[in-house]
Structure 1
Amino acid sequence: MEYINLLNRITAVDDDPFFLHFIEDKFQEIGLKNVNLFSDPNLGLESLIVNSEFNDLVLVDLQMPEIDGIAFLKLLGDAGYKGQVIVISGFESKVLQMAESIAKQRHLAILGQLTKPFSAAQLNGLVDRALSRIISAENPEMAATVGNYDPDSFEINDVTLCPVIQPQINIENENIIGYEILSRLKAQDGSIIYPNQFISDFEENGRISEFNKVLFRTSLARMAKYENINFSMNLSMRDLNSHRIVDEIDSLLSEFGVQPARLTIEITETCLVENLLTAQEIATRLRLLGCSLAIDDYGTGYSTMKQLTEFPFKELKIDRQYISNCHSHEENKIIIRSTVEMAKALGMRTVAEGVETKEELNFVREAGIEIVQGYFYSKPYVWA
């Protein structure tokens, strides 16, 4: 398995010693022999949160008597675990999907889910996904560690900011119609720091506006070098508390001579609930500038159809937790089809995030989704 050496600590937490050895055997079948096994979730938690890194990997059973899997994931998220997570259970897929959604909202890097008993091929698919995430930096070896990173003192500038872009593909003709700008930071030792490691830190310590200023300036300066190419980028919910962000984006568009119609601002669904009135005002002002608006990670928050109609969105991005293995999950099929139908009724185009397999692509095409992005077509790559 290419780049398998980039995986660091592999851990499995399950109260059943027999199943722990089953997990160990499956890892050995795919060429991974050093797996830390914990039947005591408390000991497993203590081990996991010590110096965790992005390329760590943990498998967590949901049904444990002392600490159930949901409580375990909460504690893991609260402790700031930086590694990647796979949830496993003997319960039906809907329980697994809920656990995956909860973990993501706890800012954990969720790879996917496994139903007991699983095959080596299923495990191998999720390990491949972990490796794909790790090697998405320009230099794979540079992604192996977070390096020296202090969110309070880290210098945010156009040198430490390393944006990458991922193509968005028209599903009918497979032409590139634009790119999403994804943020990365580079530590002094050259290691790559990922958004799930720093965005929440900057939101908590009040530096998210500082970060967004650098991100928007750097991105729009690069956009100016490309004619007639559209780009999209995310706006943090903390910046939706201030109308200042609209004036700053307007000023940057003018400074670099970028047509507003080429820029799509993505707003996460959670923002609609936490800052409803202010978010409505800012979203409408951004549309008045001429920018397009997308609702990002749809399905992970708690917005209602009524709230969707109160925002001038032109695009709806379906979160990858529903796209992953959608061809074999009946609940996901229902959600995707109903979401596409609703979006079309509201005059919004739909984007499937995280399409990684031919089977997923075939289903989202059949469901009527118009645009896809994901590893099936391209991993994010450094924006020169």
Structure 2
Amino acid sequence: MNISFTSLTFKTLGLLFVSSSVFILFILFIAKDSFSEGYIYLVKEEVASIERKLHDEISTNLQNRSFDKLEVIVKPYLKHKKILLIKIDSTLIDKPILVYKKEKSIQKLQDDTHFASTKDIYKQGTLNKLATVTLIYSNDSYQIYMQNFYRYFIGGVFVFGLASVFLGFLLYNSLKKLRLLASSLEKFNPYDADANIVSIDTNDEIGTISKSAGIMVKKLKSYIQSTKELNETIKQKEAHLKEAQRIAKVGSWEYNVVEKELTLSDEVYRILGVKFGTVITWDSFLAYISKKDSKRILDILEEAIKNGSKFNIRYALTLQNQNEIFVQTKGKVRKKQGGHIRITAVTMDITNDIKNKQTIERLAYYDSLTGLANRTLLQDRMQKALQFAKRQKTSLAIMFLDLDHFKLINDTLGHSVGDELLIHIAKILQIHLRESDTLSRLGGDEFIILLPSVNSHEDARIIAQKVQNTLQGKHDIGKHQLYITSSIGMALYPQHGMSADELIRNADTAMYEAKNSGRNSYSIYSKTMGNFVDKQLNLEQDLTQAVKNKEQIEVYYQVKVNAKDEFISGAEALARWIHPTKGVIMPDDFIHIAESTGLMVELGNIVIEKSISKLQELNILGLSGLKIAINLSARQFQDPSLISFVATMIERYEVDPAQVEFEITETLSMVNINNTLRILNELKQTGVSIAIDDFGTGHSSLSYLKKFPINSLKIDRTFVFDIIDDADDKAIVHAIISMAHSLGFTTVAEGVETKEHVDLLKEMGCDELQGYYFSKPIAEKELISFMQNFAPTK
């Protein structure tokens, strides 16, 4: 066996030799010195003990002048077998005292390596030197000690060397076997069926490794054989796959008609949802075809086998889990001499394509949000219902339903909440309608209900009332509690129209009539409503133009009076539309148009700018200290540029921000508390004041109200109007004023129309009064004159 410098054998033996050498050197030098120093230390300790006793006796006799006793004292110490000499030198005695065992000089004894110790003795408590004492201590025992050490050391090294040689021999033999095993493994050829490795038949670890290597080799041979067989299968399947790829790059299969052998690609197994390798016969393969398609497909395959032709078929498969999928199979029949017939085909899973087609068809006829019928499907069903009604000479009704204030929900809570509400409403309506009725969503919050069997107006009214009662009330949408009402318009066939479009248009007109009647109501179409929609469209176009040029939008002002001293403290800005032909149009008639057409933000900004501009004019004329209150709609409140626009207007017209006050309704403030608080704080940072309008008509929570950065509460006119005669209203107003003052808010009473109102509100401590008693809303050009001529009493 060759041993190289890099072999494990050389490294192991070399490491054993080096470690042994290091250990011996360590014992020889470091351990020897440690033992020697330890022995010397013990000798010194013994000498020091003798010296302490001897010095005490010498010092005592010298101080007592007992010089003749010194030699007597010292001689007994020579009895100690290791003390060789003691010498005392002192100025108090004539000559040194010297006692010894061997007649040798101190220098001679030191040269013989005996231990020598010379120390001075001082008078106790002083630095006066009494004598110098020299003591020679024998080193014979040290020499004997070290001789014994070397004897034991040599013996230990010899035994250690023998053990190392024996251990090296054992390692060499073991590593030699490993080397033989390694050489055998290097020469082993796994593809040679007769090849084996050297077998080392021992009971030690080397033998175990050898046996494990033999087992590994057997498994390796078995694995290689299995791999060969698997490669053959893979080659066969690759041939099938290549043929399928040339056709359609999908799952392929081949059927030997004569031998009835069916071969499937992996993709076909996946399509069928069957584990790869499962035995599938031709009959079981055909059994997957759904019953509705089975006969048609079998006929096509039989015809193809008979004529040796191609085929291209679409059909459904029913899988083992009862799921249905759709596939398309293209193939051809090959006939060869000798009667060999093979069907080679590819099968493609087209389930997604079919479902996508169904989805497209559904999108074409159903609303994507609610799943209700859309306009297209509604038109189709209306046409069929109208044809049936004409034949049977019966009636039908169209119900046009619109949710009240739905835009406010979208603007304040977001479109996601609005969408959830629409889905919720759709489910409620579906539950309460008949199976023969059709519920459709046209878009937004507009729903149409087709009632194919309605005998009279009274039947339509009953159904409309039922629908409204169903929707009216509280609805839990996520974490929000929403109160919903609806406006419904109805049109009946044949009284109100002969076609679907005409009936829908007239029902829409009736719905607008219901909204104009105060919402949360229903209305049946009449011819007097015929021009309403056209009028609304014209009004929308006119308002768009009015907002664009700003000239037709004017601001009227209704003054506020300080209750205590009855002087004008400010005014509320109220928008008016001065139409070129219709004259003054009040907000109730055009604000909803502005909201529905997206003009509300522009309209609101016009009012804000004109109001702040008016403040500048009043300040210049000396009417300073007045505060103008401006109403904010829900849409304005959600406008991200509101804060910057207000700040820009205040800076442009150089007015004190404290003179500007913004009013938001109590209902708006409570719709989304966190968002309201954020916007109010940002608005407050510009320096303006904040007021809650129509207080008492909403559902305020005092725990939230006290967090709002507001300055005042405006008591709604509905409480003030009957305050004189209605004890409940009086108590409510008094409670609002007391609560507001306790929270640090000022109060403004709206709807003050009589002297009795003024006196009672003063008595309650209300801060400001607003109403017809003092002034109706005044045009901008008349405001200054009114203020200059205002008289506090009438």
Partner Cα separation in structure 2 for residue 75 and residue 243 of structure 1:
31
Task: Sort the Cα spacing of 1:159 and 1:233 in 2 relative to 1 into closer, same or farther, 3 A.
Answer: same
Aligned pair 1:174/2:570, yes or no? no
Report what 1:155 is aligned to: 546
CA contact under 8 A between 1:146 and 1:187: conserved in structure 2? no
Deviation for aligned residue 1:197: 1.6
Max Rg structure:
2
Report what 1:316 is aligned to: 713
Task: Sort the Cα spacing of 1:155 and 1:297 in 2 relative to 1 into closer, same or farther, 3 A.
Answer: same
Higher mean Cα deviation, 286-295 or 354-363? 354-363
1:345-376 deviation line (CA, Å, top 9, x unaligned): 10000000011122222222222211100001
CA contact under 8 A between 1:263 and 1:291: conserved in structure 2? yes
Deviation for aligned residue 1:268: 0.9
Structure 1 ranges of 4+ moved more than 6 A: 65-68
Partner Cα separation in structure 1 for residue 778 and residue 647 of structure 2:
27
Report what 1:253 is aligned to: 650
Task: Sort the Cα spacing of 1:270 and 1:80 in 2 relative to 1 into closer, same or farther, 3 A.
Answer: farther
Partner Cα separation in structure 2 for residue 207 and residue 146 of structure 1:
15
Overall identity of the aligned pairs, in %: 29
Equivalences for residues 198-213 of structure 1 within 5 A: 198-213=590-605
Report what 1:99 is aligned to: none
Task: Sort the Cα spacing of 1:210 and 1:275 in 2 relative to 1 into closer, same or farther, 3 A.
Answer: farther
CA contact under 8 A between 1:149 and 1:187: conserved in structure 2? no
Unaligned runs of 5+ in 2: 1-460, 470-484, 490-510, 522-534, 782-794
1:14-43 deviation line (CA, Å, top 9, x unaligned): xxxxxxxxxxxxxxxxxxxxxxxxxxxxxx
Partner Cα separation in structure 2 for residue 324 and residue 268 of structure 1:
19
CA contact under 8 A between 2:611 and 2:628: conserved in structure 1? no
Partner Cα separation in structure 1 for residue 711 and residue 488 of structure 2:
36
Amino acid at match of 1:162: E
CA contact under 8 A between 1:223 and 1:258: conserved in structure 2? yes
Partner Cα separation in structure 1 for residue 539 and residue 734 of structure 2:
42
SS at match of 2:769: strand
SS at match of 2:714: strand
Higher mean Cα deviation, 151-160 or 364-373? 151-160
Report what 1:357 is aligned to: 754
Unaligned runs of 5+ in 1: 1-64, 86-102, 108-144
Amino acid at match of 1:155: A
Deviation for aligned residue 1:106: 6.9
Equivalences for residues 362-377 of structure 1 within 5 A: 362-377=759-774
Deviation for aligned residue 1:328: 0.7
Question: Quick one: higher RCO (CA 8 Å, sep 6+), 1 or 2?
Answer: 1
Task: Sort the Cα spacing of 1:161 and 1:106 in 2 relative to 1 into closer, same or farther, 3 A.
Answer: farther
Equivalences for residues 255-294 of structure 1 within 5 A: 255-294=652-691
1:255-314 deviation line (CA, Å, top 9, x unaligned): 111111110111111111223222211111121111011001111221111121121111
Task: Sort the Cα spacing of 1:203 and 1:197 in 2 relative to 1 into closer, same or farther, 3 A.
Answer: same
Task: Sort the Cα spacing of 1:322 and 1:164 in 2 relative to 1 into closer, same or farther, 3 A.
Answer: same
Report what 2:775 is aligned to: 378
Report what 1:302 is aligned to: 699
CA contact under 8 A between 2:660 and 2:688: conserved in structure 1? yes
Amino acid at match of 1:242: D
Partner Cα separation in structure 2 for residue 265 and residue 362 of structure 1:
27
Amino acid at match of 1:269: E
CA contact under 8 A between 2:601 and 2:639: conserved in structure 1? no
Report what 2:512 is aligned to: 79
Partner Cα separation in structure 2 for residue 236 and residue 80 of structure 1:
24
Deviation for aligned residue 1:75: 4.7
More helix by percentage: 2
CA contact under 8 A between 2:751 and 2:772: conserved in structure 1? yes
CA contact under 8 A between 2:629 and 2:660: conserved in structure 1? yes
Task: Sort the Cα spacing of 1:243 and 1:75 in 2 relative to 1 into closer, same or farther, 3 A.
Answer: closer
1:86-107 deviation line (CA, Å, top 9, x unaligned): xxxxxxxxxxxxxxxxx6x979
Amino acid at match of 1:246: I
Partner Cα separation in structure 1 for residue 550 and residue 642 of structure 2:
19
Task: Sort the Cα spacing of 1:251 and 1:349 in 2 relative to 1 into closer, same or farther, 3 A.
Answer: same
Partner Cα separation in structure 2 for residue 328 and residue 146 of structure 1:
41
Which of 542, 545, 557 lines up with 1:165 in the alignment? 557
1:319-339 deviation line (CA, Å, top 9, x unaligned): 101111211111111111111
Amino acid at match of 1:367: M
Partner Cα separation in structure 1 for residue 593 and residue 750 of structure 2:
24
Partner Cα separation in structure 1 for residue 667 and residue 617 of structure 2:
33
SS at match of 2:694: strand
CA contact under 8 A between 2:487 and 2:515: conserved in structure 1? no
Deviation for aligned residue 1:232: 0.9
SS at match of 1:179: strand
CA contact under 8 A between 2:487 and 2:514: conserved in structure 1? no
SS at match of 1:184: strand
1:149-196 deviation line (CA, Å, top 9, x unaligned): 226644214311111001100111111111111111111215111111
Task: Sort the Cα spacing of 1:213 and 1:106 in 2 relative to 1 into closer, same or farther, 3 A.
Answer: farther
Task: Sort the Cα spacing of 1:352 and 1:315 in 2 relative to 1 into closer, same or farther, 3 A.
Answer: same
CA contact under 8 A between 2:670 and 2:676: conserved in structure 1? no
